[in-house]
Structure 1
Amino acid sequence: MILQFDSDYRVADAIVARWLGMSRAADIRKTIERNRDELEDYGLLEQVAAPRGRGGREPATFFRLNPNQVLILAALSKARHAPQVRAALIQSMEASEALELPEDAEVNPIFAAPQHP
């Protein structure tokens, strides 16, 4: 499920893990932590605490990722479905580039490439 917050689209890390073919959401979270700096170059890395239920355990922490961050994770991943996820993201980007925007149209900065020195 892809959620929209304001004008920013986000997807939960567990869904990305499932798309990639990972058996555990913890695996994608480890990849996110290892690559946090690069992912943050493409927007806020949104971390959310979710209650775990009645057991009184610590709340689980998960990430909500924007499309650019999903693409980075798919590019880094060797999971079995990673090539298909990359292809789907690229096709989606190509389709959105085909849209003709007026010259004065504002582009959401979350989808702009980061500026590197």
Structure 2
Amino acid sequence: MDLATQLGMARPTNIRKFIETHRDELESFGQVARTECSLPMPGGRGFKTGTEYHLNRNQALLTCILSQTPAGREIRAEVIRRFDAYEGMVEVVRAVTDPRRRKGQAVASPDPFNPPLTEARKAR
């Protein structure tokens, strides 16, 4: 529920329903670990049994990205900014390390997400 609280969910316990709804996608980043736990009841009237989920870093990030909370929007924007910054750094490294650029030739930068097919990949 720490993540739910940080995301500003109106009811932090709703994170459990959220995780179950997105379980297949979350598990594409590893097993979603869960344990049974005792949760205090409101007003100090004892405890009830509940489920506690343990997400890894990628699963937590995916939860933040899918979250429809104001904090989730901020996290999505930060992911996009960092991705743009990364792409900018990749272009600088290519410019510095490409020997054709040193000779003054114009070089088209390949798309890092759609690299050119190698002979091995073309054969598949």
Which residue, 21, 24, 28 being the options, matches 2:15? 28
Corresponding residue for 2:63?
A: 73
Mapped partners of 2:39, 2:6: distance in 1: 23
TM-score by length of 2: 0.53
Structure 1 pair 52–20 and aligned structure 2 pair: CA distance change class (3 A): closer
Q: Provide Cα deviations, 1:28-66, integer angstroms capped at 9, x if missing partner.
A: 111100011111110110111112358565411110111
Structure 2 unaligned segments of length 5 or more: list them: 86-124
Question: How far is 1:84 from its partner?
Answer: 2.8
Structure 1 pair 36–55 and aligned structure 2 pair: CA distance change class (3 A): same
Structure 1 unaligned segments of length 5 or more: list them: 1-13, 95-117
Which has the larger strand fraction? Answer: 1
Across the two proteins, how many residue pairs are aligned to each other? 81
Which has the larger helix fraction? Answer: 2
Corresponding residue for 1:18?
A: 5
Residue aligned with 2:70, SS:
coil
Q: Percent identity?
A: 33
Q: Do the aligned residues in 2 keep the contact of 1:19 with 1:85 (CA within 8 Å)? A: no
Q: Which has the larger radius of gyration?
A: 2
- Give runs of aligned pairs for residues 55-94 of structure 1, distance below 5 A: 58-86=48-76, 87=78
Mapped partners of 1:84, 1:16: distance in 2: 14
Q: Do the aligned residues in 2 keep the contact of 1:42 with 1:68 (CA within 8 Å)? A: yes
For the pair 1:48 / 2:35, whether they are aligned, the reply is yes
Residue aligned with 2:18, SS:
helix
